[in-house]
């Protein structure tokens, strides 16, 4: 049973898009995944996204995805929302992944905009509706045109919000104006999917974050959010500015690469990457250390 939620915060407020730990030979590390999940929930996360892009979903098999959901639910499912990535650019495959995630015990689904195919808005509407119709789980849309090539239009968002199981959106569009209109008109629970914009998105109606830097600074993210909710703008801004070096450093290259490097430096489960992702160079690692130190992260 997932932790208690409300229509305003269906998946909690602070979620981390979790990496998928691998063993030294590149196999799925389920023990490591459970330990990392417990560490993140202990650090203050209300939920975890598994099998997302940060979880290297393009290079994990369907069987591995189901195994990972089961393992994480077993580890933390009684105290955190476990949301499983199920989106692909193939609607039929996405429906299969959604059903498998439900069977594995996931509490919700993350459905990314179909990538590469560049479907029209009607295609997006039918794609997300098919995923939402496939299970009884609540769905968080994931709007990231920088990766997918196609944004979810505001009118499409409004229409999708009419579905009883489409309850939230992870916004990585980077457009506060569009976000403002979509939040106001759709009434979806809005989650920032761009760490640099976590605080600005709260100011236009977001309810929380789906974070990558949450692997390292979840307590600070929660403190920033709580300060904002309490009306302490100065405190929220202070925390945001303190974290700027972390936001910058973690995205100097692809976020999975830096996250696994940082977790390894901290002694947390992470393991290697699967190609086409590659390890940081020695110079990049030193830069990451400097960035994280400037943001107060202990390694």
CA distances from 48 to 155, 273, 298 (A): 29, 20, 22
Residue 135 counted as an annotated binding residue: no
Q: Which of 170, 173, 191, 260 is catalytic?
A: 170
C-beta atoms surrounding 296 within 10 Å: 13
Exactly one of 65, 115, 118, 142 is catalytic; name it.
142
The β-bridge partners of 142 are: 112, 170
Q: Are 44 and 219 in contact (CB under 8 A)?
A: yes
54 is in an annotated binding site: yes
Q: Which two tokens stand for residue 274?
A: 């699967």
Cα–Cα distance, 148 to 53 (Å, whole number):
12
170 is catalytic: yes
Residues in binding site: 54, 210
Catalytic residues: 142, 170
Residues in binding site for pyruvate: 54, 210
């Amino acid at each position: 049973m997932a932790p208690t939620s409300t229509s305003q915060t269906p998946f909690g407020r602070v979620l981390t898009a979790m990496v998928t730990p691998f063993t030294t030979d590149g196999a799925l590390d389920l023990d490591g995944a459970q330990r990392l999940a417990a560490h993140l929930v202990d650090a203050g996360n209300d939920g975890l996204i598994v099998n997302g892009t940060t979880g290297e979903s393009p290079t994990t098999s369907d069987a591995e995805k189901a195994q990972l959901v089961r393992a994480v639910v077993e580890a933390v499912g009684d105290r955190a929302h476990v949301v499983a990535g199920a989106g692909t650019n193939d609607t039929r495959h996405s429906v299969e992944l959604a059903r498998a995630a439900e069977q594995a015990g996931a509490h919700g689904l993350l459905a990314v905009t179909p990538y590469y195919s560049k479907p029209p808005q009607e295609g997006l509407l039918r794609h997300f509706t098919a995923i939402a119709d496939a299970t009884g789980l609540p769905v968080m849309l994931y709007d990231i045109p920088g990766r997918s090539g196609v944004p979810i239009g505001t009118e499409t968002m409004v229409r999708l919000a009419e579905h009883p199981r489409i309850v939230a959106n992870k916004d990585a569009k980077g457009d506060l104006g569009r976000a403002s209109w979509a939040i106001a008109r759709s009434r979806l629970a809005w989650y920032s999917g761009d760490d640099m914009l976590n605080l600005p998105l709260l100011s236009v109606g977001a309810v929380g974050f789906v974070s990558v830097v949450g692997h390292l600074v979840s307590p600070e993210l929660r403190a920033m959010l709580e300060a904002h909710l309490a009306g302490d703008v100065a405190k929220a801004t202070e925390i945001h500015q303190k974290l700027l070096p972390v936001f910058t450093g973690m995205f100097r290259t692809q976020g999975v690469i830096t996250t696994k490097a940082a977790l390894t430096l901290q002694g947390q489960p992470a393991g290697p990457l699967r190609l086409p992702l590659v390890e940081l160079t020695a110079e990049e690692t030193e830069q990451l250390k400097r960035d994280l130190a400037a943001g107060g992260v202990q390694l």
